[in-house]
Amino acid sequence: MSERPLVSIVVPVYNTQEYVRESLGCLLSQTYDNIEILCVNDGSTDDSLKILQECAAEDARIHVFDRPNAGAGAARNYGFSQAKGEYALFFDSDDLCKEDLVEKALTRVLETEADIIAYNYTKFTEDGTETSGKGIHTEHMPKGMEVFSYRDFPNYIMSIINPVPWNKLYRSSFIRENDLHFEEISSTNDITFAAVSAAKAERIAFLHDELVRYRVGQSGTITKTKVKNTGNVITAVESALRQVKELSYYPEIKGAAQRFAVDNYVFALQRYTNDFRSGKAEEFYNYVHQRFTEEDLNDAEEALYLTLAKWYRIIKKYDYQEFFHLYDRKIVASVTTFPDRIKGMRPVLDSILDQSRPADEVVLWLADSQFPEGTEGLPEDLMELVNEGKVTIRFCKDLKAHKKYFYAFSEYADDLIVTFDDDLLYYKDSINELFLTYLEFPHSVPAMRAHLMVFDEEQVILPYNHWFLESNICVQQPCMQLLATGGAGALYVPELFEKGFLNEKLIQELCPLADDLWLKAAEVMSGIPVVLARPNRTLKYLPGSQETALYHLNVDENRNDVQIKAINEYLDSKYGEKTLTRKITAYNGANYLSVRDIMDAIYLERQTQRQMRHELSEKLKRAYADKSAINARLQKAYADKSAINARLQKAFADKSEINAKLQKTYKEKAERGVKIKELEKELQEMKERKHRFFGFFGKKNG
């Protein structure tokens, strides 16, 4: 057997008696077997230690260390301190892996001379469900780039690798030379190690293969029993920041450090503080609020993607009491339909129910005149949702599309109303995007889609077909000229609106077919701007739903212009000439966009797009240049492949030698067993002779 294993596999173990034997079996059956398996029992209270000792007795590659419970981070650090291999791999004691995990990872590291090899994985549950997981967020990488470092992605490097510890192979000398370690805390002990190692690595390589099978939903593992301690998050994040700030090239990766810190703090707020009423949540929120105002994180926004930037601005803007007042409100998803579309409502409602931030209640408003039998006769798949308590059906008067907001504004006056249409399938993040925009701009109407109203030089509203439809000119900026298309998803705060607009008679007379136009008039009169929550995305229409759409009446037959004129005439008669345009242009003056402003904005947007295309082109050129260098290194690696194969052949020869030694050991053990039995038999015979001897003399003396 080789004196030194090439790969050390560190396995922390805590109360996994049901799985640890199977997990070790995956490691012992690797196609490359010059390995050592360092099992650190972290104070298990079940039979895990006994099973480890049994496995170690059966295979000399397993080494068992029994230590008091200190958490997975401490167990991994101790296990690595005992490692002899040139390469290290961390594995969990309830997970499984492919039999060629070590061989493929080792081959890749020998080809690329990388410090870290990351690979994909699958998540699996006991019921057989499997989903794929990424080892590296390749969406940040040019196509074809699979070897990189901080130089390639200075703004993402600390977040580009999935932070779990078990999907990477490391060069052991890299870990030791950079003093990398897992934080010895009860949870979140891995993110520091992953982020700092990525920032310090000279070369990181990627394997697309799904080599690990991660077990989900087991309450007995270290991961699942860890306490969601926000103090640990602070320890882990601040430790990572301290370490990377010591790097000579920290100014280059400052954006990555900021992104890492904000991302993990926001994640913790969302996942670990489920009850914002708790004192723990308040303490953690205020810490993060203060932290975002300090020098190193005060200018982090430019490093963040859209949704994370929203969270950053919100937390930075509000202290806990202000935030909680806005956050702790019920969300009601409100939608309506009519007989021609009722049969297609199930997929629409499913997409509303399947939101990343679900509504507290989903209400479907139906006109009693259109459904005189009530719930009798409604589609069976729709009634399933009702009977399961997922959807509430309310019957009301027929106000056409206005039904989706009109009655909700009265009956859910203290809640947030999110309106949806009955002909669209909604993106999973729709409610969350609207809610975050509401938190940032609580006195506005956040919308997923908006049109920009246009005025002529005399401030007269131009016809609808002159407006900039689905405009992206004002994203994340309150603008009174934006018209929210509520069917695509818009959020309303009922108390902001003047109650006079909830007038059935006026709606029927002035604007019976265009709820968005009536709501826009109400917003203007109440001083409420619209905020586009994110750049417009393609609407996903329900197949066949547009045959009866109001669009054909309102746009194709110019009914929108007719209704706009009626609204204007009514308001002008009550409040004076050009009431709507006066209020729109008067709102924060600077926010009014003239035709010239709009054209300038479009020109600037096009110039920006050209600049972005140029920068992308330059980045791609650099990527291709890097790719050429990578290919050169790969050619060298392939040229050295004979040496690699020789090492592998030697490893397989070592395996034969190991097996021969094991066979010899088993033979010697068997021979010793036979000898022991012979000695035991001889000893028994001696005892019997002794008994007979003393028995004879005893009788004689008697």
pLDDT digits (tens, 9 = 90+) for 477-520: 999 999 999 889 999 999 999 988 899 999 999 999 999 999 99
Strands (E) in 140-235, as ranges, are: 147-148, 168-171, 204-215
pLDDT at 596 over 90: no
Least confident of 106-110, 400-404, 512-516, 585-589: 585-589
Least confident of 111-120, 225-234, 472-481: 225-234
**Cα distances (Å, whole numbers) of residue 600 to 31, 585, 660:** 64, 18, 81
Q: Which residues pair with 41 in a beta bridge?
A: 13, 66
Mean pLDDT of 315-336: 95
- Give the containing element (helix H, strand E) for 12: strand 7-13
- Give the containing element (helix H, strand E) for 560: helix 559-575
**Cα distances (Å, whole numbers) of residue 45 to 52, 76, 91, 113:** 13, 19, 20, 42
Q: Which of 26, 53, 173 has its CA nearest to residue 109?
A: 173
Q: How far apart are the first and last CA of the chain?
A: 67
Residue 628 — very low, low, confident or very high, per pLDDT cuts 50/70/90? low
pLDDT averaged over every residue in the chain: 86
Q: In this structure, which amino acid lies at residue 209?
A: D
Determine phi and psi for 215, rounding to 5 degrees.
Answer: -80, 130
Q: Which residues pair with 230 in a beta bridge?
A: none
Give, as one character, the DSSP assignment of residue 125.
-
Q: Which of 274, 241, 283, 234 has its CA nearest to residue 258?
A: 241
Sequence-distant (≥ 6) Cβ neighbours of residue 503 within 8 angstroms: none
Q: What is the dihedral of CA 151, 153, 154, 157, to 10 degrees?
A: -110
Question: What was the pLDDT predicted at 595?
Answer: 54
Q: How far apart are CA 488 and CA 428, in angstroms?
A: 13
pLDDT tens, position by position, 390-430: 999 999 999 999 999 999 999 999 999 999 999 999 999 99
Categorise residue 270: left if φ over 0, alpha if ψ from -120 to 50, beta otherwise: alpha
Q: What share of the chain is helix, strand, coil (3-state, %, to 5)?
A: 50, 15, 35
Residue 672 — very low, low, confident or very high, per pLDDT cuts 50/70/90? confident
The angle at the Cα of 204, spanning 199 to 207, to the nearest 5 degrees, equals: 140
Token pair, residue 329, equals 């409100």
Strands (E) in 28-148, as ranges, are: 35-42, 62-67, 87-90, 96-97, 116-124, 130-133, 147-148
Q: Which residues pair with 212 in a beta bridge?
A: 97, 121
| Residue with more model confidence, 30 or 595 | 30
- For the segment(s) 330-593, the CATH number from 2.60.40, 3.90.550, 3.10.20, 3.30.70 is 3.90.550
pLDDT at 69 over 90: yes
Question: What was the pLDDT predicted at 625?
Answer: 62
Token pair, residue 220, equals 């007995």
**Cα distances (Å, whole numbers) of residue 698 to 356, 686, 691, 692, 693:** 93, 18, 11, 10, 9
Residue 659's Cβ-side half-sphere holds a number of Cα atoms within 13 Å equal to 7
pLDDT tens, position by position, 51-63: 999 999 999 999 9
Determine phi and psi for 317, rounding to 5 degrees.
Answer: -80, -40
pLDDT tens, position by position, 201-220: 999 999 999 999 999 875 44
